[in-house]
Amino acid sequence: MSKLTNIVFANTDHFAEGTDIESHEHGNYVHIRIQQRNGRKSLTTIQGLAVDLDLRKILTALKKTYSTNGTIVNDPEMGKVIQLQGDQRKHVFDFLTTYKICSKNEVK
């Protein structure tokens, strides 16, 4: 798990003035949703992650950490979306906030 430090490639100006609220005005949220399949089966989808993140590394870490399978899907409207098997909403939220991929305010 020590290789997770390379996930976030921040291109931010640390001396610029601003707050987290500014990014929310433009709709820069990370959406964690569940989609019901057949019976008790479900999919967890993660949309809206930053473009400069390595989604393959995030997916690999999620799969190994929470013993689930997943894939990256190219959606024409939402861009790249991570799909995980099962209801992994709580695990994904904890993972994203623990490794500071996004803040609690950015997750919906």
Spell out the per-residue pLDDT of the chain, length 108, in tens.
Answer: 556 666 655 555 556 555 544 444 446 899 999 999 999 999 999 999 998 999 999 999 999 999 999 999 998 988 899 999 999 999 999 999 999 999 999 998
The domain ranges of the chain are 29-106
Instruction: Provide the strand spans (E) within the chain.
Output: 31-36, 42-47, 70-75, 79-85
Query: Residue 31 has which token pair?
Result: 């959406």
Report DSSP state, residue 62: H
**Rounded-to-integer distance, Cα 9 and Cα 50, Å:** 10
Q: What is the CATH number of domain 29-106?
A: 3.30.780.10
Model confidence, pTM? 0.73
Residue 30's SS3 state is strand
